[in-house]
Amino acid sequence: MKRFACTLTPENYDTACDLAGSALLRRIPAASTILQITEGGAWDAFPTGIYIAADFENVIRYTGSAIRDGSIGDRVQEHVLSGRAARWTRLMAVPLAADTEEDLVRRIEGRIGAVLRPIDTKRLPTFGGPRRPAQRRASR
């Protein structure tokens, strides 16, 4: 059974930002490439947020989150180094306030993923009530 695929459109990006609610830091309506993020530091100012990755056909492949001392770009770099980002050509970030609790970041990731339905994300965080607190991870 083939899943319906969402594309990375300005409307879907706006929806993702809306789902972040009051935790949203600001909107960045322009998509970035892997090189702009990992080499150019396009997202270096954002330690906390959700990222959305699309392929060359603009199909949303993956949504993920980052909560770290470094940046969302550091998390994307981990995907690149592991080979999981091979099909990603365009990425968009939903930056969140740096002090957003990890549990809320995960719930926002779950909400965004539930709406955008990324085809390569195997499991999304729940977007219900709070779970046990977790430690903030340092970037590698």
pLDDT in tens, 91-139: 999 999 999 999 999 999 999 999 999 999 877 776 555 544 444 455 4
pLDDT at 49 over 80: yes
Question: What sign results for the dihedral spanned by CA atoms 12, 16, 17, 18?
Answer: positive
Residue 46 CA, chain-centre distance (Å), reads: 12
User: CA dist 126 to 22, 80, 112, 130, Å?
Assistant: 19, 25, 11, 9
Helix axes 102-116, 10-20, angle to 10 degrees: 150
The pLDDT of 29-57, averaged and rounded, is 96
